Amino acid sequence: MKRIFYRTLLVFVSALLLIISFFNYKGYIHFGHGILDFFPSLLLLVIVVALIFFLSIHLDRKNSENINSVEKIWLLISLASLLITILFITVFRGPMSPWNGEIFFF
């Protein structure tokens, strides 16, 4: 049960990071650094690819219900990257478009 929960959480966080990266690419979400908004989005894509690679390798490897420390580390990395991304989209925006209470630019 625990293993399924952790894997589901990893997939959910990966999907959220992909959605944020897509919206940044389309121009709906900004990090506030102008043309340099591309680099956080690229970093998010690298993290998601690493998470998908990790999940694809470890999905069939172990059938036990217990969670090993590597899965806990990956979950911690993914949750931290999601939290940092949300903070940089909102409160810690750059000088090009400072935080004004709105996340999306339509």
pLDDT tens-digit map of 4-60:
777 788 888 888 888 888 888 888 888 888 888 888 888 888 888 887 787 777 665
**Whole-number Å distance between alpha carbons of 70 and 67:** 8
| pTM recorded for the entire structure | 0.76
pLDDT tens-digit map of 61-95:
655 555 677 777 877 888 888 898 888 888 888 88
Question: Can you give the pLDDT at residue 60?
Answer: 59
In this structure, what DSSP letter does residue 68 have?
A: P
- Give DSSP secondary structure letters for 12-59: HHHHHHHHHHHHHHHTSB--SSGGGGHHHHHHHHHHHHHHHHHHHHHT
Question: Can you give the pLDDT at residue 67?
Answer: 62
Taking CA 73 as the corner, what is the angle to CA 70 and CA 79, rounded to the nearest 5 degrees?
140
Domain residue spans of the chain: 2-89
Question: Can you give the pLDDT at residue 101?
Answer: 78
**C-alpha closest to that of 103 among 44, 31, 22:** 31
**Whole-number Å distance between alpha carbons of 75 and 78:** 5
More confident residue, 103 or 16: 16
